[in-house]
Amino acid sequence: MQSARVWALGAMILAGAVGCGHTPASDDADTDIGEAPGARDGWWRDRVFYEIFVRSFYDSDGDGVGDFVGLTEKLDVLNDGDPTTTSDLGVTGIWLMPINASPSYHGYDVTDYRSVNPDYGTMAEFEAFLAAAHDRGIRVIMDFVMNHSSVRHPWFVSARRGPDSEFRDYYTWRPEDPGWRQPWGTGPVWHPTASGYYYGIFWSGMPDLNLANPAVETEMVEAMEFWLERGIDGFRVDAARHFFESDDGQLSDQPEAHPFVKRLRRRLAAEHPDALLVAEVWTHRGTVAEYYGERGEEFQLAFGFDTASGIITSVRDGRRATFDQQMREIVDSYDDINFEAPFLTNHDMPRVMRKLGADPGAMRVAAATLFAVPGTPFVYYGEEIGMRGGDLPKDEDKRTPMPWAAEGATRGFSSAASWYPGAEAVGVDVESQRGVPDSLWTLYRDLIAMRQRHPALSDGELVTVRRDGGTSGVTAILRAKDDERILYVVNFSGTEESSAVRFEVSGAPTVLLGEGLTSPPVQQGTDLMLEGLAPRGYAYIRID
Ligand code: CA
């Protein structure tokens, strides 16, 4: 170990000597955050988050645009703060998509990292929302977009004037276009100005910030501290795998990202040790896992994109294989399985209900499975009522206004014409489903409550279970913490009832929640025996 370490340091110095374009990685002392506060026992580990696009949630003042006041008015539907009521969904975390000032409808191109978008209201209205959420026991994280700014950010407006700008090195410039293309397509990433080409991986309107510049790093840290001091509980960190690029055009997952994120964590932890950083690293699990560092000293959570597609694939094809593969990979990939933030779909994807062909049984089994897997789950607004979103491929169709009412031109979203049309089916609204037995909303409420009531589900180990018999759609996972064990069994098939199936789990079964069991599960020796499971059937079974 010692010699390898010396060799690594030597290689790093050598890289610096031959003119590496980036700031050298810091040494351990610079990135040490002690016991990585909160990584393994953080406040987020037993919570359920709800992702909100403020523009589309609820319009309080009749201008067709959702706002902070509207969001605050609807908080009681998400969680009224009273654990004895059942008229609320019961989520305990909120992720707000970008709320900073921005010229776009989506807000991922920021012009001021310390302001709120005036379309959504004032800073005072935001702070009132935050206080109201905290009063209800809901923690709030916000999107933080540090990979790039808006082309209209004052830093960039200055930088593009030329090399003499004090902000020139906040961005990355070249005299010629090296011809690189977006890793996921064919779009250019170098964009022309009169003073040279600037790098912007997503779009010419979003120049990438030069995070290797210590001044930019400090700007980002101080902007995050600005929000933490106002009470925000953490950040969803956009586009983290694109923070750095190599000099020869490798545009994702560059090694500089890791010391950068460690420094970010350490600097934030000095005053705000509980601040949560959730990474968007949109790729396969093996790469995502690297962004936790050795023990959660980089990001404390990252979205489980493979888990999301694994659940949806198994529900769509009716077979367990993809889901089982994902569960094995979780166990193999992470030192701590609860590093994942599982979800079904988010604002960048067609909604899960659309992907499932608006099949209500498929949607119910997808939801049931989401809450059985490890990590901190995220629900995308409207998922709980089966919103499909618009049918065009554009991003706005994934982010349409929330239907609150059964009737009306905007289904209760706004008293005016909404900023973008929604087109949901009859019955896909909160009014029609809230508190109604057998509705999708009620299933989400019950799943969320169950998950937060049982430590085995919210923070337990994941154990794969041996199976004997049953059809190709049937599988099970066991979640366990301390003395509590909960078995989740599912039949992904939409057409085939499972034959009798036996799971190697010893103990007395009690069904906590489920649909489609043809008879109660029975203990037989060291096995659990299910007589049958209907198509799209599932059950959470406590094993005592
Ligand atoms: Ca409004």
Please provide the DSSP assignment of 123-164 as one string.
Answer: HHHHHHHHHHHHHTT-EEEEEE--SB--TTSHHHHHHTT-TT
Q: How far is the CA of 8 from the centre of ligand 1 (A)?
A: 55
Residues in contact with 133: Cβ distance below 8 Å, sequence separation at least 6, in sequence order: 75, 94, 139, 140
Q: What is the mean pLDDT of residues 534-542?
A: 98
Three-state DSSP class for residue 108: coil
Q: pLDDT band for position 1 (50/70/90)?
A: very low
Q: How far is the CA of 348 from the centre of ligand 1 (A)?
A: 23
127 neighbors 230 (Cβ within 8 angstroms):
yes
**Looking at 67, 88, 280, 459, which residue is catalytic?**
280
Give yes or no: 238 in active site.
yes
Q: What is the mean pLDDT of residues 55-75?
A: 98
Q: How far is the CA of 429 from the centre of ligand 1 (A)?
A: 20
Q: How far is the CA of 98 from the centre of ligand 1 (A)?
A: 16
pLDDT of 48 higher than 80? yes
Q: How far is the CA of 137 from the centre of ligand 1 (A)?
A: 25
Average model confidence (pLDDT) for the chain?
A: 92
Residues in contact with 257: Cβ distance below 8 Å, sequence separation at least 6, in sequence order: 240, 241, 243, 244, 291
pLDDT of 488 higher than 60? yes
Of 15-29, 156-170, 196-210, 350-364, the poorest mean pLDDT is in: 15-29
Q: How far is the CA of 414 from the centre of ligand 1 (A)?
A: 8
Q: What is the mean pLDDT of residues 102-123?
A: 98
Q: How far is the CA of 65 from the centre of ligand 1 (A)?
A: 4
pLDDT of residue 294: 81
Of 68-82, 325-339, 516-530, the poorest mean pLDDT is in: 325-339
Pairing between β-strand 484-491 and β-strand 533-543 as defined by DSSP bridges: antiparallel
Please indicate whether residue 30 or residue 16 has the higher confidence score (pLDDT): 30
The first and second tokens of residue 421, run together, are: 């049309």
How many CB atoms are closer than 10 A to CB 97? 23
Strand order in the sheet with 467-469: 467-469, 501-503, 527-530, 522-524
pLDDT of 222 higher than 50? yes
pLDDT of residue 210: 98
pLDDT of residue 334: 84
Q: What is the mean pLDDT of residues 461-486?
A: 96
pLDDT of 423 higher than 60? yes
Q: How far is the CA of 73 from the centre of ligand 1 (A)?
A: 12
* Residue from 440, 405, 396, 437 nearest 424 by CA: 405
pLDDT of 110 higher than 60? yes
**Looking at 67, 143, 217, 238, which residue is catalytic?**
238
Q: What is the mean pLDDT of residues 96-123?
A: 98
Amino acid at 506: S
pLDDT of residue 33: 64
Of 24-38, 248-262, 396-410, 434-448, the poorest mean pLDDT is in: 24-38
Please indicate whether residue 336 or residue 471 has the higher confidence score (pLDDT): 471
Q: How far is the CA of 400 from the centre of ligand 1 (A)?
A: 15
CA 265 remoteness from chain centre:
19
Of 397-401, 402-406, 463-467, the poorest mean pLDDT is in: 463-467
pLDDT of 34 higher than 70? no
Give yes or no: 76 in active site.
no
Plot region of 358 (φ>0 → left; ψ -120 to 50 → alpha; else → beta) = left
* Residue from 140, 142, 126 nearest 238 by CA: 142
| pLDDT tens, position by position, 291-316 | 998 878 999 999 999 999 999 999 99
Q: How far is the CA of 413 from the centre of ligand 1 (A)?
A: 10
pLDDT of residue 31: 55
Q: What is the mean pLDDT of residues 92-103?
A: 98
pLDDT of 146 higher than 90? yes
- What percent of the chain shows pLDDT beyond 90? 89
Q: pLDDT band for position 12 (50/70/90)?
A: very low
* Residue from 104, 93, 97 nearest 46 by CA: 93
Q: How far is the CA of 70 from the centre of ligand 1 (A)?
A: 7
The first and second tokens of residue 471, run together, are: 């059809």
> Which residues neighbour ligand 1 (ion) by CB within 5 Å?
59, 61, 63, 65, 67
544 neighbors 372 (Cβ within 8 angstroms):
no
Rounded to whole angstroms, how far apart are CA atoms 134 and 483? 32
Rounded to whole angstroms, how far apart are CA atoms 2 and 154? 48
Rounded to whole angstroms, how far apart are CA atoms 488 and 475? 8
Q: How far is the CA of 415 from the centre of ligand 1 (A)?
A: 10
